[in-house]
Structure 1
Amino acid sequence: MAATGNDAKQIRFAPNGEMWVHFGALPVSALPKSVDEDLKASGFIPLGYASEEGTEITPKIETEELSVWQSSVPVLRYVKSAAFQVKSTLVQVNDATTRLFYGAEWVKTNTKSAAGREQYRLDIASNPDLAEVSLVIDWSDDAAHYRAVIGRAMVGDRGSISLTRTKSQNYELTLDALDAAGTLGYILTDDSSVGSMPKVSLMSGSVEAGHGTALEGSGFDKSSDVNGIAA
């Protein structure tokens, strides 16, 4: 693990990224287990270009205070709700992005337009089904790859589409993770700057005054100089 403190080598950017969707939630056993696992083999579809704002990933925890008669300050905080949210604006118009945005599938009509192209129809229901998806967000720079995996998610919010002469159509989407056996998702990385924090422990349970004991350390760089350990 790299040293903590002021270390520019631990600053990360995300010049490379991709969002992937699988229509229909996958079981945990079918979700990716490495940062470079082939997602297409599992049926994931790349969503393509996003707007220059990129993708926002927001973990949220909402807590409440427990007040009691005997104290003027709260004695406990507890979790009221938790969330893991992904927001992005997609700029490619294709089957996957529009299906995700409208929440319905395209159906071939077996008729052609005047231009000779096949026509498709997407019905926007007055009582729509809330379809589940699995979602993967990849991002990387020259130093490390990261992958966020959400096994169960639903579209929680949509923006409006502006149809203008000078701007592309944008599909603004917010997806919310759902509980999947006690988890909202997980993050994978090959970043060498993360891992177990350095720690030192006694090899024996207790030490008598005036006697010595062996120490066991882990999580340090090979070049680390460990000094000044206090009892």
Structure 2
Amino acid sequence: MANDAKKIRFAPGGAIYIAPATESLVIPVDLGTADTAPAGYKALGYVDEGGVTLTPAIETQPVNAWQSATAVLYNVTSASFSVKATLQETNEVTTELFWGAEWVEIMSEDPTPVGTGVFRLDLSSTPELKELSLVVDWNQGSIRNRVVIPRSMISDRGAIQLNRTENGKFELTIEALDSAGKLGYVLTNDDIVEGP
């Protein structure tokens, strides 16, 4: 196979979409259309210039035998798939994901409660982890790719740096959970696979 510079790929465009992982959610099975959230999902908006980091990982343990000084095979001890991104937009979806709670409007204490336009987000001392479904799209021209993770949870949150000259950012690491024996799947229309 000869070297082919046309096969070098970048990801100049893309999006992250998220939805509660419920039984009624229809998990996407196609590439969808560019810049359109799959049904039931919400876009997370701008991501910082570092982009999105996708990390599939497998941990193995060697199986040794008396007859060999080298392992005779490896056994899988764990598998994982993580997505890490630093979100730049401050909106309801990104802030609720980051803080792990929902905004609730404070109501006036008049005889008839009226919304005050002030919202409160309570940080629990025993937070409840919510299951999410995640879709990451990226493209280079007409070449489109999509990772779909039917079930996942936020496993790590970075610190928010409040700064006069730099915007607020929400760093999240999301880990795939088992979904009928799969962590998720990758879709592409790239011509990297040879036909039969």
Give the corresponding residue for 2:15: 18
* DSSP 3-state at the match of 2:52: strand
3-state SS of the aligned residue for 2:173? strand
> Quick check: which one's strand share is greater?
2
2:30 pairs with 1:7:
no
Deviation at 1:41, TM superposition (A): 5.7
Give the direction of change, closer, same or farther, for the CA distance of 1:41–1:9 in structure 2 (3 Å limit).
Answer: closer
C-alpha deviation, 1:37, in angstroms:
5.0
Deviation for aligned residue 1:28: 9.2
Deviation of residue 70 (structure 1)?
3.1
Q: Which runs of 5+ in 2 are unaligned?
A: 109-115
Which letter maps to 1:60? Answer: A
Question: Are residues 1:47 and 2:44 paired?
Answer: yes
Read off the aligned partner of 1:108 and give its amino acid letter: E
- 2:71 aligned with 1:74, yes or no? yes
26, 30, 34: which one aligns with 2:26: 30
> Given that residues 27 and 151 in structure 1 are in contact (C-alpha distance below 8 angstroms), is that contact kept between their aligned partners in structure 2?
no
Give the unaligned 5+ runs of structure 1.
112-116, 198-217, 219-231
CA distance in 2, matches of 1:44, 1:141: 23
Matched residue type, 1:33 = V
Task: Specify the structure having the higher radius of gyration (Cα).
Answer: 1
Residues 42-67 of structure 1: per-residue CA shift (max 9 Å, x gap): 21000000100000001000001112
Q: Is 1:97 the equivalent of 2:100?
A: no
**Aligned-partner Cα distance in 2 for 1:170–1:134:** 22
TM-score scaled by structure 2?
Answer: 0.89
Judge conservation of contact 1:61–1:83 (CA < 8 Å) in 2.
yes
1:29 Cα offset (Å): 7.5
Once residues 25 and 91 of structure 2 are traced to their aligned partners in structure 1, the CA distance between those partners, rounded to angstroms, is 29
Q: Summarize the alignment of residues 29-178 of structure 1 with structure 2, pairs less than 5 Å apart.
A: 30-37=26-33, 40=37, 42-111=39-108, 118-178=117-177
Report the Cα distance in structure 1 between the residues aligned to 2:149 and 2:103, rounded to whole angstroms.
25
Contact 1:56 1:87 in 2 (8 A): yes
One-letter identity of the residue aligned with 2:74: R
Question: Taking structure 1 as the reference length, what is the TM-score of the superposition?
Answer: 0.76
Measure the CA separation in 2 of the matches of 1:146 and 1:41.
14
Secondary structure of 1:57's aligned partner: strand
What code does the residue aligned with 1:48 have?
G
User: Matched residues in 1 for 2:187 and 2:131: separation?
Assistant: 22
- The CA deviation string for residues 70-117 of structure 1, in whole angstroms up to 9 with x for no partner, is 322211201010001100000100110011111111111125xxxxx7
The worse-fitting range, judged by mean Cα deviation, of 139-148 and 102-111 is: 102-111
Please give the alpha-carbon distance, in whole angstroms, between the structure 1 residues aligned to 2:23 and 2:141: 32
Q: Distance in 2 between matches of 1:140 and 1:40?
A: 15
C-alpha offsets along residues 192-225 of structure 1, whole Å, 9 cap, x if unaligned? 2x2246xxxxxxxxxxxxxxxxxxxx3xxxxxxx
How many percent identity over aligned positions?
45
* Aligned mates of 1:99, 1:29 — CA distance in 2: 20
| Amino acid across the alignment from 2:128 | D
Q: Distance in 2 between matches of 1:164 and 1:29?
A: 38
Matches of 1:91 and 1:128 in 2, distance apart? Answer: 24
Note the aligned Cα RMSD (angstroms).
2.0
For residues 12-61 of structure 1, give each alpha carbon's deviation from its aligned partner in whole angstroms, at most 9, with x where no partner exists.
Answer: 11111100010x21449711111125864621000000100000001000
